[in-house]
Amino acid sequence: MQRIMGYMRKAIQEYKMIENGDRIAVGISGGKDSLALAAGLAGLRRFIGIDFTLVGITLDPGWNGQYTDYTPLQQLCEKWGMEYHVIRTEIGPIVFEARE
């Protein structure tokens, strides 16, 4: 994680990707890529010298008309000091049932 955060810090500073006061939404699927990004950004806030806010967002597709329990992701976001939102959708049934 140290190496990833080093690359993130370098890119953020070199390309001025984040500025003081920014509010950054991070899409969190629960996979390793989105969790690494969220963890890295949360870790960088401690020492990068830029004051920014993170918001984690998960889109629940409602597969088979069922919604998923995202409590573990919510707990991680709380641990990392991130606001977290789950947005329930009907994407699953629309894509795979209604539109076949």
C-alpha span between 38 and 16 (Å, rounded)? 18
Q: Is 20 exposed, middle or buried (0-12, 13-18, 19+ CB in 10 A)?
A: exposed
pLDDT tens-digit map of 45-84: 999 999 999 999 999 998 888 899 999 999 999 999 999 9
Query: Binning pLDDT at 50, 70 and 90, where does residue 90 land?
Result: confident
- Report percent pLDDT > 90 for the chain: 82
Higher-confidence residue of 29 and 95: namely: 29
